[in-house]
Amino acid sequence: MIRQLTSEDTELARGLLDIFGTAFEEEETYDSAASGDAYLQKLLAREHFIALVALVDGEVVGGIAAYELEKLEQERSEIYIYDLAVLENFRRKHIATKLFDAVRKIASERGAWVVFVQADHGDDPAIALYTGLGTREDVLHFDIAVEDKEQG
Q: What is the pLDDT of residues 85-101, one digit of tens each?
A: 999 999 889 999 999 99
Q: Decide if pLDDT at 81 tops 60.
A: yes
pLDDT, residue 44, reads: 98
Q: Decide if pLDDT at 107 tops 60.
A: yes
pLDDT, residue 148, reads: 75
pTM listed for this prediction: 0.86
Q: Decide if pLDDT at 55 tops 70.
A: yes
Q: Which helix (H) or strand (E) holds 76?
A: none
Q: Decide if pLDDT at 151 tops 70.
A: no
Q: Decide if pLDDT at 152 tops 60.
A: no
Alpha-carbon distances, residue 33 vs 11, 14, 37 (angstroms): 10, 8, 9
Helix boundaries (H) for the chain = 10-23, 37-45, 95-110, 124-133
Q: Specify the amino acid at residue 116.
A: F
